[in-house]
Amino acid sequence: MDEMRGWVMAEYRSICLVDDPPVGLDVTSAEDVDDYLPPPDSPEGFDLVIAAPGIVTVTTGVMRGRVHLTVQVLDSEPRDLATGNWETVEEIGFRALSAYTRAAAGTYYPFVASSPGTFEESVTPTGAGFYRVRAHEVNRGSALGEHRDDGDPPTEERFLLQVWPTGTENEDHRRITGREPPLLL
């Protein structure tokens, strides 16, 4: 398991995983993540994670502000839920367009975390294909709708994203734990 973690700036009430090949790399594809932006709205009953080809969007509570993000890249589906007092856990499938899917802010461009190099690794190391993402959150409602500047203290929001290859398409959206109705509509 590879793990990346750090404080990141959420923008427009979101953080993302987005396909972003390095500049100058000749990635030949008929598709580009820009073809799928912005991602679709969450279906009724879900409010944490949504996906489209090349992008996964996680909805934060804070409109803009620093949140803690951990990304775990796994070889296969985890047997158990991650330990912790997670308030919401949702899972969704997505199709990666390349081997260059990285963490990003809500502006859909890779961000700079508080620790240099923290989120430089791809979450799709096996390349283009089908993956599942299990998103966990806690304290998402603690700074609901707030706008915080770069120098402001971080929020109490914490997110864990677990990503693994599936080999087959499965876009089913599952709510494993969470409020009914969801926190954000």
The model's pLDDT over 110-146, given as tens digits with 9 standing for 90+, comes to: 554 555 556 778 899 889 999 999 999 999 999 999 9
Residue with tokens 């992008």: 55
Confidence of residue 85 (pLDDT cuts 50, 70, 90): very high
Helix, strand, coil % in the chain, rounded to nearest 5: 0, 40, 60
91 forms beta bridges with: 134, 174
Report the pLDDT averaged over residues 144-151. 91
Which range in 43-57, 110-124, 142-156 is most confidently predicted, on average pLDDT? 142-156
Torsion angles phi and psi, residue 78, rounded to 5: -70, 140
23 or 131: which leads in pLDDT: 131
What's the mean per-residue pLDDT of the chain?
83
- Global pTM reads 0.87
Measured between alpha carbons, how far is 94 from 96 in angstroms, rounded to an integer? Answer: 6
**pLDDT at residue number 21:** 73
Q: How many helices, marked H, and strands, marked E, lie in the chain?
A: 0, 10
- Of 49, 65, 50, 52, nearest to 160 by C-alpha is 49
Residue with tokens 């949702």: 90
CATH number of 2-22+46-177: 2.60.34.30
Interval 169-184: pLDDT, tens: 887 889 998 877 666 6
